[in-house]
Amino acid sequence: MDDVEARWNHIETGVKKIMTDVRGGIDFKEHMKNNLKAYFALYTSIHKFCVVPGPASFARAEYLYEHLTEYLSSHLKGVQARSKEYIDDALLSFYITEWHQYRTAAECNNWLFQYLNRHWIKDKIKQGRKDIYTVITLHLVRWKEDVFINTQESLVQAILKLIERQRNGEMIEKSRIKPVIESFGNLTEPLDLDESDESKSTVDFCKEYFQEPFLKATTEYYDTKSKLFLAENNVAEYMKMAEACLEEEEERVSPYLHDDTKPLLMQKYLGRLQGRFSTHVRKAGLAAVEEVAREDDNLEPEVYAEALHKTHAQYQSLVNHSFNGDSGFMQSVDNACREFVNRNKICLSGSNKSAELLAKYTDTVLKRSILTMATDDRETRLTQIITLFKYIEDKDVFQKHYSEMLAERLKQNILVSNRAEKRMISKLGEVCY
């Protein structure tokens, strides 16, 4: 055995001892304080290994870097092999323990090999070598390649199972989730343990390996829950359940998920919830028309308009009370109303039928023949007409019928009042323009 190999074997023995010693959960500073003499002896050995006259110094440094890399890879492949003995909660516990111990060892070795960092490694990085890292980054690269890549799918599934159990009301060990997710933050480029970079790392790496599977699992979970709940409860109870679930999810993500996951989760969950709500409102509107519709020619315009408006008012009120007028849920109501106003049983021959009936109802309200109608009542009905008019797609059809009927009211001198006509024309104009 030559002198170089013998010296490396001595250094490797010291590195192995560090790997063994940190298994008790001790941190780097405490470990160094308790083993100061051994640390300085090993530091000196590493320094002497590299510091030799001439070009041999760089050759020695490269030899040391390569052998340290090989040792770490061999050690971590052993960790990866042992991880296969565990599943679910046990796997998370194993991973957390091994990760924390390895991080401590990485900090210890980074201090011991600082001469290598300051000289040979620094020089190679300046030369543009992308496969050379500082010692602490090298530890993280090897963990990522030799442990994480082969374990991450099982880890993520274990976390998702744990979260689902919590959603189902079971008490779980939250402490098994956050450390694993936080470890992801150290395993992306640029790899380091500097807290100033950790936030960016966490966002990038967690998005690929955890955030996307988490959001997918969350969507599937609440899709199933929503279907089951709606099958046995009315929409008002569903909205209450949805609001409670939103609060629970917001509270759930705060302790162990990155801040960037929260708005994405809320956006995705709300999007699905709003979509399901919109579908329910659309079906309710179609059912309301179905109930009042007999033969198209015999359907009273007033009955038709009131059926449409009643559905709109019911769900607009529900959004105001259950979601404080949330704009997203209001948009869901708008989307649903646009559908059932223009594509219901009465509109089978074309959506212009809805425009025609609404125009006829407007004519009824504005005729002097119902002069006994209270002014406030008339204003309320005209406001309701304007609300429905906003959803009419064939506005030109409505305006055509409205203009013809207005001309007839003028001809027969049966306007309820010039003021009411002017206000109606003004409101219609506001919607169109």
Q: What is the pLDDT of residue 403?
A: 94
Position with higher pLDDT, 192 vs 386: 386
Sequence ranges of the domains in the chain? 3-170, 210-348, 350-433
pLDDT, tens digit, for every residue of 311-366? 999 999 988 887 788 888 899 999 999 999 999 999 987 778 999 999 999 999 99
Q: Report the candidate in 284, 282, 281, 304 with the shortest Cα–Cα distance to residue 292.
A: 304
pLDDT band at 66 (very low <50, low <70, confident <90, very high): very high
| CATH code, 350-433 | 1.20.1310.10
Instruction: State the Cα–Cα distance between residues 310 and 358, nearest whole angstrom.
Output: 14
Predicted confidence at residue 1, as pLDDT, reads: 44
Say what the pLDDT of residue 308 is.
96
Q: Would you state the pLDDT for residue 68?
A: 95
pLDDT tens per residue, range 381-399: 999 999 999 999 999 999 9
Higher per-residue confidence, 233 vs 35: 233
At residue 196 the predicted structure's pLDDT band, cuts being 50, 70 and 90, is very low
Whole-number pLDDT of residue 369: 64
Shared fold status for 210-348 and 350-433:
yes
pLDDT value for 134: 93
Give mean pLDDT, residues 91-120.
92
Q: Read out DSSP for 86-131?
A: --HHHHHHHHHHHHHHHHHHHHHHHHHTHHHIIIIIHHHHHTT-TT
Q: What confidence tens digit (pLDDT) does each residue in 249-264 have?
A: 878 777 767 666 667 7
Give the rounded percent of residues in the chain with a pLDDT score beyond 70: 89
Quickly count: other Cβ atoms within 10 Å of residue 58's Cβ: 15
Question: In the numeric block, which tokens belong to residue 417?
Answer: 């009042």
Least confident of 116-120, 212-216, 373-377: 373-377
The domain defined by 3-170 carries CATH number 1.20.1310.10: yes
pLDDT at 182 over 60: yes
Q: Does 199 score more than 50 pLDDT? A: no
CATH code of domain 210-348:
1.20.1310.10
pLDDT, residue 194, reads 43
Q: Which of 60-69, 266-275, 353-362 has the lowest mean pLDDT?
A: 266-275
Quick one: what percent of the chain has pLDDT higher than 90?
45
Closest CA to 133 of 198, 68, 79: 68
| pLDDT score of 25 | 62
CA distance 361 to 376: 17
In angstroms, the CA 293 to CA 301 distance is 11
Note the pLDDT of residue 195.
41
Q: What is the mean pLDDT of residues 136-161?
A: 94
- Could you tell me which of 115, 114, 103 has the C-alpha nearest to residue 76? 103
Mean pLDDT of the chain: 85
Nearest to 281 by CA among 360, 238, 337: 337
Please write the tens of the pLDDT for every residue from 74-94. Answer: 999 999 999 999 999 999 999
Q: What is the per-residue pLDDT across 403-420, written as a single tens digit (0 to 9) for each?
A: 999 999 999 988 888 888
Query: From its phi and psi, is residue 399 left (phi > 0), alpha (psi between -120 and 50) or beta?
Result: alpha
Distance CA 82, CA 95 (A): 10
CA 121 to mean position of chain CA atoms? 40
Cβ-based neighbour number of residue 55 at 10 Å: 8
Q: Is a pLDDT exceeding 70 seen at residue 71?
A: yes
The tokens describing 22, both together, are 């940190």
Structure-token pair, residue 294? 């007999």
